Each structure stands twice: as structure tokens, then as C-alpha cells.
Structure 1
Amino acid sequence: MLNIGCHLSAAKGYEAMGKTALEIGANTFQFFTRNPRGGKAKKIDPEDINELLKIMQENKISVVMAHAPYTLNACSANEKTREFASETMKDDLKRMEYLPHNLYNFHPGSHVKQGVQVGIKYIVDMLNSILIPEQTTTVLLETMAGKGTEIGRSFEELKCILDRVALSDKMGVCLDTCHVYDAGYDVVNNLDGIIDEFDRIIGLDKLKAIHLNDSKNSFSSHKDRHEKIGQGFIGKEAIVRIINHPRLCHLPFFLETPNELPGYAREIKMLRESYTWQ
């Protein structure tokens, strides 16, 4: 079965997200833990979360993914910004235990001209200070397009982080198709080669989820502009090859295309019809 969903708003609560996912034909979904621009998170309502867990169990939704706010920059040159990142992620991971055994994804951040190695050290220091053996959540580093001073533009940069995190079993990677294409990984013409490269450098066992997006910009543009499936430079055929690849087809796929719910429903239906591993 194709595990596919999209980004849903948590504004109306967890149970509402579960119901919305089912309404648009999704069997997984992604959500922000709080306002994507930062700020305090809503108070946890255990009853609301229990209703979502019930929906997940009854409809065989095996995994969902939370996304950290975009303002989280663990490798900022500003100490207060780094402290905000650490405090926010620590709180998010505590909250995620109400939804045990799921995923939490974040952008590694931008080193702001401090240098990649300095940035990586800050990220590693944060992760080593907040990850605990008891947590059930797997924390994912997202592959980035490489605009500005972003860290995570290459598999090697992600490996440098993963190798230095003490609780390595709590870590993984979310591969964003738009980001890797814009970063210079040709998933259109060399998908097998890119998968082999990821496996050689990081290991496919660390690949836990895929953000499924087309790209508004051409190959290796380092721009990071998502497009609807089939309307960008990656194209529908390449996206279909990705969801059907025998080394990827078991993963959860999360759409982050520029859509409202009806558009997501159409993309989910189209991709289900193109999935060959029924």
C-alpha cells in the first residue's frame, strides 16, 4: 500500500487532522508542532490526541510526521537563536511522546558565514543535549537545496551530523525531492545512482521519509521552490518512478506542493493510481 499524505493544519486539533486526512484519501500526514514562524505551542489536549490515535489504529495509519518551525536554526551565529532552537525542539520532542513512535523533521539550519564545520558542531551539540534514550520519536534531518549558507545540501554534510550524534538510533533523514534536485542530485535521469550514493554515504536504513515535491526551478538551481506534481522540472514520470522504486516504495511520502485540500486530494488520487505495488 502506498503510504501518502500531505501537510495539514493542526489549528483545529489532532482529531480533525486525522479526519481530514481520511477525507482526501491520505493514510498519513505531516503537521507543524506550532506556528511555522515560531512561538508557543498550543496546550496538549490528551483526549484530542487519543481520538487521533484511535483514528490511526482503525484506519491503519502507521506513521505521521511533525515538522519543526522554519525559524528553528540550530547553527545560527546568534546564541539566543540557538537557544530558542534547542528549547523548542526539546519541548516538541516531549510533546511528541503523546504520539509515540512517530517522526519529527527539521531543517538543519544556516551557518550564516561561520563555516559548515562550525554549523555542524552547533547542530550536533544541540542534538546531543536534548535527545534521550527513553524517547520513541525519530528525529529527521531534511535534505536541503543549498541556498545561501544552508547545511544539508549534500549527503556528506548530513552524514557528518549523524556520525556525531551519540543516540544515533534516534536519528534519520527525510529526503525532499525538490531540495535534492535543486541541490544537484539528478533524481530525474539518475534515480538509481542517487539512491546508491545515499546508501553508500549515509545508509538507506537511515532514510525514514520522503517529501514528495516537484520543482519550480531547473536542476542544480539551489532555489528551493516547490511545484505541483507534474508541473515542474522534475515531472510526473520521475515522481512516479520514485514512489514505485523497490528501495523506496515502503516509505511514507508527504506532499508539500502549493495546494489547498482539493489539490492534495487530486495528487494523492493520481499517485495512488500510478502505484504498482498494490
Structure 2
Amino acid sequence: MLHIGCHLSSAKGYLAMGKEAALMQADTFAFFTRNPRGGKAKDIDPQDVQAFLNFASEHHFTKLVAHAPYTMNLCAAKENIRAFAHEILTDDLQRMEAVPGNYYNLHPGSHVGQGSEAGIAMIAAELNAVMFPKQTTTVLLETMAGKGTEVGRSFAELKSIIDRIELQDKIGICLDTCHIWDGGYDIVNNLNGVLEEFDRIIGLNRLKAIHLNDSLNPCGSHKDRHAKIGEGCIGLDALVRVINHPQLQKLPFILETPNDHDGYAREIALLRSHFHKK
């Protein structure tokens, strides 16, 4: 079965997101833990959470992929921005325990001129300070396109962060197809080679989720401009090979394409029609 969903608004609560996903024939979804630009998170309603957990079980949902806000920069040059990131990360990982056993995806951060090595060290130190032994959530570092001073532009940079993490069983990777394509990894002509490189450097056992997106730009552009499935430079055929790859097809796939509700439903139906269970 293809495990696929999209980003949904968390404003109405978990059960509303679950029902919306089910209407789109999705069995997972992503959501921002708070406003994507930061701010206070919505209070968690225990009754809503329990109703969702029951609904998710009945509809055979796979793991959810929560997303940290874009403003959370764990390696910012300014101390007040790092302190803000610390507060968000601490709160989010505690809140994730309301829906235990899921994923919390984050952009590693931007070193803002401090250098990637300094950024890597700061990101790892912050994660080590906040992650806790009893957490059931797996933290996912997202592969980045490499624009500006982003950390995580290569598999090697992500491995450098992972190597510094103390709770090794609670860290993984979310691979974004647009980002790695824009970052120079040719998944159109050499998907097997890209996955072999990932396995050699990081290990495919670390790969827990995929953001499935087309790209408006050619390979290696370092732009990070998402496109609808089949309407970009990656193309439908290559993305179909991704969802059908035997080493990937059991993972949750999250669409982050520029779409509305109906557009996501069409993409989910399109991709399901091209999925071949191994």
C-alpha cells in the first residue's frame, strides 16, 4: 500500500485533520506544530487527541510527520534567535508525546556566515540538550536544497549532525525530492546511485519519511522551488520510480506541492494509480 498524504492545517485539531486526510484517500499527513512563522502553539485537547487516535487506528493510518516552524533556527548567529528556537523545540517535543510514536521533521538551520562546521556543532548540541530518553518521537533532519547558508545541503553534512547525537535511536532523515534534486542529486537519471550514496554515507535505516515534490528548477540549482507532481523538472515518471522503489515504498510520502485540497486529492489519486506493491 502507498502511504501518502499532504500538509494540513492543525487549527481545527487532530481529528479534523484525520477526517480531511481520509476524504483525500490519504493514510498519513503532515502538520505544522504551530504557525509556520512561529508563535504560540494551539492548546492540545485530550478528547480530540483520543478521538483522532481511535479514528487513525480504524482507518489504518501510518506515522504522521509533524513539521517544525520555519523560524526555528538552531544555529542562528544571534543568541535571542537560538533561545527562541530552544523554546520551540523543547515545547514541541513535549507536545508530540500527545500522539506518541510519530515523526517531528525540522530544517536543520542556517549558519548565517558562521560556517557549516559551526552550524553543525550548534545544531547537534541543541538537539542533545532538548531530546530526552523517554521520548517516543523520532526527530527527522530534512535534506536541504543548499540555498544561502543552509546546513544539510549534502548527505555528508547531515551525517555530521547525526554522528554527534547522543540518543541515536531517536534521530532520522526526511528526504525531500525537490531539495535533493535542487541540491545536485540526480534522482531522474540515477535514483539507484543517489540511494546507494545515501546508504553509504548515512544508512538507509535512517530514512524515515519522504517529502514528495516536483521542482521548478534544474538539478543543482540550489533554489528550493516546489512544483506540482509532473509539472516540474523532475517529472512524473521519475517520481513514480521513487514511490515504487523497493527500498522506499513502505515509507510515508508527504506532498508539499503548491496545491489546494482538491489538487492534493488529485495528486494522491494519480500517484496511487501508478503504485505497484512489491
Mapped pair 1:228 → 2:251: no
The letter of the residue matching 2:115 is: G
How far off is 1:62 after superposition? 2.1
Q: How does 1:107-146 map to 2 (within 5 A)?
A: 107-146=107-146
CA distance in 2, matches of 1:127, 1:189: 35
Matching residue of 1:166: 166
1:192 corresponds to: 192
Is the CA contact 2:21–2:28 (under 8 Å) kept in the aligned structure 1? Answer: yes
> After superposition, where does 1:181-220 map in structure 2 within 5 Å?
181-220=181-220
Q: Deviations over 1:172-214 (max 9, x none)?
A: 0000000000000000000000000000000000000000000
Confirm whether residue 62 of structure 1 aligns to residue 76 of structure 2. Answer: no
Q: Which amino acid aligns with 1:84?
A: F
Query: Which consecutive aligned stretches of 4+ in structure 1 deviate over 3 angstroms post-superposition?
Result: none
Aligned alpha-carbon RMSD (Å): 0.6
> Cα distance, 1:65 vs. partner?
1.0
State the distance in 2 between where 1:161 and 1:87 align.
20
**2-side partners of 1:181 and 1:87: how far apart?**
32
Alignment partner, residue 76 of structure 2: 76
Structure 1 Cα separation of the partners of residues 86 and 118 of structure 2? 16
Instruction: Identify the residue that residue 178 of structure 2 maps to in structure 1.
Output: 178
Alignment partners' CA distance in 2, 1:249 and 1:40: 36
Instruction: Tell me the TM-score normalised to structure 1 length.
Output: 0.99
For 1:260 and 1:188, the matched residues in 2 are separated by 26
- TM (norm. structure 2) is 0.99
Structure 2 counterpart of 1:51: 51
C-alpha contact 2:62 2:252 (8 A) present in aligned 1? no
Partner in structure 1 of residue 247 of structure 2: 247
2:3 equivalent to 1:3: yes
Identity %: 63
Structure 1 residue 247: Cα displacement: 0.6
Note the alpha carbon deviations across 1:246-269, whole angstroms, 9 max, x for none: 010110000000000000000000
Letter in structure 1 aligned against 2:37: R
Paired residue type of 2:52: L
Gapped regions of structure 1 (runs ≥ 5): none
